[in-house]
Amino acid sequence: MPDTSLKTHGELEIGTRLEIRKAGEGRGAALVSQILAPPAGNLMLIAVPTAHCEWVEWGAGTPIRASFTKKDQGVWLFDATILSRSVSGTVQAYLIQLEAPPHRRQRREHFRLECTLDVVFRYLTALPPPATAGDSPLVPGVTLNVSEGGTSFLAVPAGEQAGEIEITLELEGHGSVVARGQVLRRERIDHGSTARERYAVRFTGIAARDRDALVRYVFKRQRKQLRRI
């Protein structure tokens, strides 16, 4: 049996801010919680998060993934299972059981920041070929989320269903970054009288300077979110 004791993880103390979501949920905004009592073995008490001013009700047995930041050490993660829910006055709590000690986020475990950023993109491939020579037209859009590894955004239908694009993201006062990406899927989204599609894009090429700028931006925004309780 793996040792899941938390006695060596002093960063998991009362008030540590957590960002949690159901395990395996790749979409939707993560919820903010915090540790309410010192960990005991592999058990820990955390605040029940709220969404739209209502308590989030997850039943016993629900698997969750939580993340928190350590000063100068980046983002750390742990997986846990909800055991029970309790109420004490105005405080509601989940008792959770950790599956293993926290581990530092690996590069493949990109934090996905829910945010609204302006983007423009163009297809680098086109089927059928454009009627006139020259680059594909630039198409504006707005992000739904972004990470070091890719982005999801809303834009008008353009180009082929799947293909390679060049995309520019404006980082809200932090300049812009340019990347190449592969369109993985497109889904039509009802948006009033104007047709919109949700594009899911995986980055396939980005300059080191732009990647560093994007990582810094996402990490800075994440830390701000984790401070909000």
Return the domain boundaries, the chain.
17-109, 113-225
CA dihedral 67, 80, 106, 150 (to 10 degrees): -70
State whether residue 72 is helix, strand or coil: coil
β pairing state of 103-104 and 74-88:
antiparallel
pLDDT value at 13 more than 60 = yes
SS3 content of the chain, % helix, strand, coil (to 5): 10, 50, 40
Task: Work out the number of other CB atoms within 10 angstroms of the CB of residue 144.
Answer: 20
**20 neighbors 66 (Cβ within 8 angstroms):** yes
pLDDT value at 1 more than 80 = no
pLDDT value at 132 more than 50 = no
**H, E, C per residue of 99-143:** CCCCEECCCCCCCCEECCCEEEEEECCCCCCCCCCCCCCCEEEEE
143: enclosing H helix or E strand: strand 139-147
* Whole-number Å distance between alpha carbons of 113 and 97: 26
Domain spanning 113-225: CATH superfamily? predicted glycosyltransferase like domains (2.40.10.220)
Residue whose tokens read 């700028």:
213
Averaged pLDDT, 39-49: 92
pTM here? 0.51
CATH second-level architecture of 17-109? Beta Barrel (2.40)
pLDDT value at 8 more than 50 = no
Instruction: State pLDDT tens for residues 151-177.
Output: 999 998 876 666 899 999 999 878 899
Domains 17-109 and 113-225 agree in fold: yes
